[in-house]
Amino acid sequence: MLPVIEINSGESSIMKAVRIMGKGGVVAYPTETFYGLGADIGNPQALEKIYAIKGRDFSKPISIIIGSREDLAKFAKNITPAAEILMDQFWPGGITLLFKASQNVPWKLTAKTGKIGIRLSSNPVATLLAQSLSGAITATSANRSGQKECVSVEEVISSIGENLDAVIDGGRTPGGAGSTIVDTTADPPIVIREGVIPSSAIYSRDL
């Protein structure tokens, strides 16, 4: 039976999920948009499991959530002034920024593009998980590719529960739209996917 981890016991309950992920497991967790699939980005088998759960091709990259802004330098290169402006304005929150990936980022996450999507979440569960796993976890949505994103534990279990190692019950997430994706390697930055933060809010900045 799939373990459902309640978060009302505080940090100790989150550490149950961290231990599972540290052993190569995949855990569904709440974010500021939908439920995501979390794995240790340094574990190749765990990353392969993520792709298998989603039915996703390795040609499609997977973004990450970091534990703090200070962790960014571990995973990103060439952090531009424009990127700094966007981080100051929208982090933590629903914006994923594309950076040139550092050597600490596995190619499976970049799909050999040389770029990695990075977000600092406003959800404390997501942040604590990342902080407890060397500064980053995977941030792809907890659903099969092409299917509806999940906003509750019940939806996650119904969709992909049989393939998970645990799910953290963080209550119902806001849903609506996913994170907005902005490519900061372009000059000026380009909105790749509009999400919870409208394109107008990005392009109105002096980047």
Does pLDDT of 5 surpass 80?
A: yes
CA distance 39 to 124: 17
The pLDDT, as a whole number, for residue 7 is: 79
The pLDDT, as a whole number, for residue 115 is: 97
Does pLDDT of 201 surpass 90?
A: yes
Q: What is the pLDDT of residues 86-120, one digit of tens each?
A: 999 999 999 999 999 999 999 999 999 999 999 99
Domains of the chain: 4-203 (3.90.870.10)
Q: What is the pLDDT of residues 6-30, one digit of tens each?
A: 876 456 788 999 999 999 999 999 9
Q: What is the pLDDT of residues 135-191, one digit of tens each?
A: 999 999 999 999 999 999 999 999 999 999 999 999 999 999 999 999 999 999 999
Does pLDDT of 193 surpass 60?
A: yes
State pTM to two decimals. Answer: 0.95
The pLDDT, as a whole number, for residue 8 is: 67
The pLDDT, as a whole number, for residue 140 is: 96
Buried b / exposed e across 6-38, counting CB within 10 Å, b at 16+?
Answer: ebeeeeeebebbbebbbebbbbbbbbbbbbbbb
The pLDDT, as a whole number, for residue 136 is: 97
Alpha-carbon distances of 199 from 46, 58, 122, rounded to whole Å: 33, 28, 20
* 94 or 134, higher pLDDT: 94
